[in-house]
Amino acid sequence: MNRALPLAALAALACAAPRPPAPPPATPPAAATRAVFAPPPAASGIDPSLVKRALDPCADFYEFACGGWLEKTPIPADQSRWVRSFNVMGEENKLKLRAILDPAAAGRVSPEDRYGQQVADLYAGCMDEPAIEKAGLAPLQAEWKEVAAVKDARSLSAAVGRLHAEGTGVLFSVGSTQDSRDSTQVIGYVAQGGLSLPDRDYYLKTDAKSAAIRADFVTYVEKQLRAAGSPAARAAADAQAILALETAMAGSQWTRVESRDPQRTYNRLDLTGLKKVAPRFDWDGYLAALGTRGVTAFSATTPKALEKLNGLLETTPPATWRAYLRWHLLAEAAAARALPRSISDAAFWFRAHHFTGEQAMPERWKHCVALTDGLMGEALGQAFVRRYFGGEAKARAESLVGGIQQAMRKRIAGLGWMDDATRVKAQEKLAAVDNKIAYPSRWRSYDGLVVRRDAFLASAVAASAFEVTRQLAQIGKPLDRTEWGMTAPTVNAYYNPSMNEMVFPAGILQPPFYTQGANDAVNYGAIGLVVGHELTHGFDDQGRQYDARGNLTDWWSAAVSGEFDRRAGCVVKQYAAYPVIDDVTLDGKLTLGENIADLGGLTLAYAAYRSSRAGKPEEAPVGGFTADQQFFLAHAQAWCAQIRPENARLRAVTDPHSSARWRVNGPLSNLPQFAAAFQCRAGAPMVRAERCDIW
């Protein structure tokens, strides 16, 4: 489950992906969509002017629906990709949050905002570049003093505990989670982590591009350490040692595909088991420094990584451990833009050059808005909801969610490949899904958090540590089912299998996903797809392994489970053939869950839409497009995207979502409803001969 961001997660805020190669020329479109029509009303929710009517929707629907947008929309310099829905909405929400934060930072804190002063001070401190420049390296040097005493495994364990308590991601990550075998219990987890590069494969692949990235990484680390005060010879040696250490760590970690298997990543070891797997690590001293002395309930995602850590504790010199810890403190402070600009700029440009492709750093205010939302999101979210979110969207979303769940009930009831015993369990799970819409029923407390606007790095660390403490305090306590893993302004949604819940923040319940006054066809095609997508996650290759109560248990008959796997194999094969950039294709196994959710989500959203119109007249055409055509256009136009090549490669390795073109064409090419709407004949590229059909 996603939670509020510790400091270690802030570097990922800017990561993002490129438009695939253009398709070959297409044939003319169906007659029904060829003519030129008058502009639609403003509240139509789709934009027919973006449609390339000279193209055939049955050849490449993504290009047909988005071609006009792609031709006239460049990627902003500070973005790695630009998606018509997520990125545009995200930027608009940042402007709204800035309109809250700027006056508060200037001293006009709303009396309605209980934690408004802490939020204002955190944001103001982030915005105060002159003060950050004046402080120079002093805040970092204070952090470095914490690791200077590391001389053996015992002192390293204590140092790691202190850093983890602040949210700094070294060696592994730690937190609280539900026990996958008993979802009523909150236990601790120890997960693989501690790497600087985005994925283990960047350390292990032997191709020329990966080798070049590693060489540049060493040069970059050396320069950053020197800029932070390390002598030249020491910085050079430390950079080489850090790469060697992280390479050894990477070799013991699961791949991203392996990490998708909840059976593989659940290993209830408890404290006794952790001590047995990695006896050289002082777990008692670590937990004392972490502030969780007495906690004994733990699961480990990757026991072999802990075994490797145990060996590294014997063979790695203390000087290398100190260098590694200093480096991660430096890297995370630079990502937070809490150090002199020369250091933060270098961090940005290394990431941009190899992984994201941005051509300019985001303006300071954008960074500080995102950071404040990441560290104090529920305090800021209250003001966002009060100022910008109306109840009509919440009520409409609740109604739409109910309709899509009803469509899923009907689908399960009619599935020919599911036997009755499994069907009963599936319906039981569906009935138990909890829906969280717009904002939490109970807002999080920030009582006790001390923030100083004249000490930005210390304040960011304090806010991160406050969240770590809050999470770890949940271990052994009754499960809080009201908790959210995203902030209210977030333009996203999620399904959590352990909670068996769907969560739709207020941030996504806006155009183009939800447009007040638009035809139902449009809203079902956009936000309806999001709802259906998240609901299907409860029954994708991962979610299906959890029962109605969120427990990791097998509730499928053997025959039905085998049939699901066969059908999922169709999806893997389909998407593995899709190109991303140059010689890189999608990873059908890495993206399987999201692709199943896209396919199921569209199927459910369309069924729910048609059901909602029963007994009602057909909705009016928009731009000459029928209601059914509007449904599919709304889905496609939400995914119009321009993406930089560097980020395309990164996402092909790390992102479980397919790229935008295939999130449109992939599922639609399996849907007979789409083919009927656009009069596509058998054999057309958008009509797959081997249809994949699960939910």
pLDDT tens for residues 351-373?
999 999 999 999 999 999 999 99
Contact indicator for 419, 460 with CB cutoff of 8 Å: no
Which residues 6+ apart lie within 8 Å of 387 measured at CB?
96, 99, 100
Q: Could you tell me whether strands 182-192 and 298-300 are parallel, antiparallel, or unpaired per DSSP bridges? A: parallel
Give the pLDDT mean for 421-432.
98
Whether 592 has a pLDDT exceeding 80, the answer reads: yes
Kindly report the average pLDDT of the chain as a whole number: 93
Summarize the confidence of residues 431-454 as an average pLDDT. 96
**Could you give all domains of the chain from N- to C-terminal order, each with its CATH number?**
58-113+391-442+483-695 (3.40.390.10), 153-315 (1.10.1380.10)
Cα(466)–Cα(470) distance, rounded to whole angstroms? 6
Are 530 and 504 in contact by the 8 Å Cβ rule? The answer is yes
For residue 634, the model assigns a pLDDT of 96
Alpha-carbon 224 to chain mean position? 28
Band the pLDDT of 43: cuts 50, 70, 90. low
Please state, in angstroms and rounded to a whole number, the distance separating the CA atoms of residues 182 and 327: 38
SS3 of residue 188 by DSSP: strand
pLDDT digits (tens, 9 = 90+) for 397-406: 899 999 999 9
Distances (CA, A) of 591 to 393, 540, 640, 655, 695: 31, 11, 19, 7, 17
Alpha-carbon distance of 631 to 136, in angstroms, equals 54
Cα distance between residue 431 and residue 547, in whole Å: 11
Residue 7 — very low, low, confident or very high, per pLDDT cuts 50/70/90? low
Place of tokens 């980020």: 647
Could you report the per-residue pLDDT of 644-653, keeping only the tens digit for each? 999 999 999 9
The span from the CA of 269 to the CA of 66, in Å, is 50
110-143 burial by CB neighbour count: b if 16+ within 10 A, else e?
eeebebbebbbbbbbbbbbeeebeebebebbeeb
Residue 393 has a pLDDT of: 82
pLDDT tens digit string along 474-498?
999 999 999 999 999 999 999 999 9
The more confidently predicted of residues 434 and 26 is 434
Q: Is 184 exposed, middle or buried (0-12, 13-18, 19+ CB in 10 A)?
A: exposed
537 compared with 10, residue with greater pLDDT: 537
Confidence class for position 197, pLDDT limits 50, 70, 90: very high
**How large is the average pLDDT for residues 172-199?**
97
Yes or no: say if 52 and 650 are a contact pair by the CB < 8 Å rule.
no
pLDDT exceeds cutoff 60 at 446: yes
pLDDT of 23 > 60? The answer is no
630-643 mean pLDDT: 97
Residue 391: what pLDDT?
77
Segment 126-140 shows an average pLDDT of 96
What type of residue sits at position 16?
A: A
CA torsion sign for 146, 148, 153, 154 is: negative
Pairwise CA distance, residues 586 & 666, whole Å: 12
Task: Decide: 318 and 150 in contact? Cβ < 8 Å.
Answer: yes
pLDDT by residue (tens digit) across 66-121?
999 999 999 999 999 999 999 999 999 999 999 999 999 999 999 999 999 999 99
For residues 383-394, average pLDDT:
88
Cα–Cα distance for residue pair 378/114, rounded to 1 Å = 11
pLDDT for position 392: 81
Give residue-wise pLDDT tens across range 277-327.
999 999 999 999 999 999 999 999 999 999 999 999 999 999 999 999 999
- The owner of tokens 């109605």 is 548
Question: Token match 């066809």: residue?
Answer: 521
pTM comes to 0.92
Please report the sign of the dihedral spanned by the C-alpha atoms of residue 674, residue 680, residue 682, residue 688: negative
Which of 125-139, 390-404, 587-601, 629-643 has the least mean pLDDT?
Answer: 390-404
Question: Which pLDDT score is estimated for 396?
Answer: 87
Single-letter amino acid code for the residue at 193: G
Distance separating alpha carbons of residues 459 and 466, to the nearest angstrom = 10
Report the range of poorest mean pLDDT among 266-270, 282-286, 339-343, 397-401: 397-401
Supply the pLDDT for residue 6.
53
